[in-house]
């Protein structure tokens, strides 16, 4: 089974700092999957993180560790790159679609799974602007860009003894995970 942790890509590449060297040893010893903490989130694109991610993916592959991509879309304006935060409606929809297609294509074969949508139960501004049907469409865009990657919806509190939040998530996205791809299914729902 998969056992992993969230890690910053840069810590896997440092060959000097003793703390990072120890971190690398422990990652290689303990885990068979890794999720980059922030390196694959949309706002990270502008700071050159994809180059760092690609080198970190190489390090992980050399240690037989798979990578979970987190996340393609996060529905709050604060989780968008500054250049996209002011877009609304069709312009924002086009930017979201282009981002999903671009990043899923650029990471094809490097991640075994993408968290396509993150926390749509509590981060709703983007979906309210571009339309909730785009929630399901985002999985289609990712599938078109990488037919072999697993697709996932990620959220907290989905499996919870309090039914309010899972019910809110289900109501807001108006579909069940198995219905997202019109005949296909989401490979995992994390929470």
Instruction: Show the tokens assigned to 159.
Output: 């499996």
Q: Three-state SS for 67?
A: strand
- Listed as own residue / partner, the contacts of 172-178 with beta carbons closer than 8 Å and 24 or more positions apart are 172/120, 172/121, 172/124, 172/127, 172/132, 173/120, 173/127, 173/132, 173/135, 173/136, 174/132, 174/135, 175/135, 175/136, 177/153
For the entire predicted model, the pTM comes to 0.86
C-alpha of 138 from chain center: 12
Please tell me the predicted confidence (pLDDT) of residue 121.
85
Taking the chain (191 residues) in runs of 10, the rounded mean pLDDT of each run is: 95 97 98 96 77 96 98 96 96 98 96 96 94 94 97 85 74 52 47 47
Q: DSSP class of residue 107?
A: T
Spatial neighbors of 130 by CB under 8 A, at least 6 apart, are 89, 90, 92, 93, 96
Please tell me the predicted confidence (pLDDT) of residue 53.
95
Q: Three-state SS for 87?
A: coil
E-strand ranges in 22-65 read: 33-36
Q: Three-state SS for 38?
A: coil
E-strand ranges in the chain read: 4-7, 33-36, 66-74, 113-118, 150-154, 188-190
């Amino acid at each position: 089974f998969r056992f992993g942790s969230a890690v910053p890509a840069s810590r896997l590449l440092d060959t000097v700092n003793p703390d990072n060297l120890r971190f690398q040893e422990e990652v290689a010893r303990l885990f068979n999957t890794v999720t980059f903490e922030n390196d694959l989130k949309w706002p990270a694109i502008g700071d050159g993180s994809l180059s760092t991610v690609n080198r970190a993916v190489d390090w992980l592959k050399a240690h037989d560790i798979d990578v979970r991509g987190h996340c393609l879309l996060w529905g709050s304006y604060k989780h968008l790159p500054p250049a996209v935060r002011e877009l609304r409606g069709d312009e924002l929809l086009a930017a979201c679609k282009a981002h999903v297609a671009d990043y899923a294509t650029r990471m094809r074969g490097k991640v075994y799974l993408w968290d396509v949508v993150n926390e749509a139960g509590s981060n709703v501004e983007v979906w309210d602007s571009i339309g909730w049907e785009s929630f399901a469409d985002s999985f289609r865009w990712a599938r078109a860009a990488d037919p072999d990657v697993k697709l996932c919806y990620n959220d907290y509190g989905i499996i919870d003894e309090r039914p309010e939040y899972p019910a809110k998530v289900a109501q807001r996205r108006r579909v069940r995970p198995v219905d997202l791809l019109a005949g296909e299914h989401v490979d995992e729902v994390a929470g």
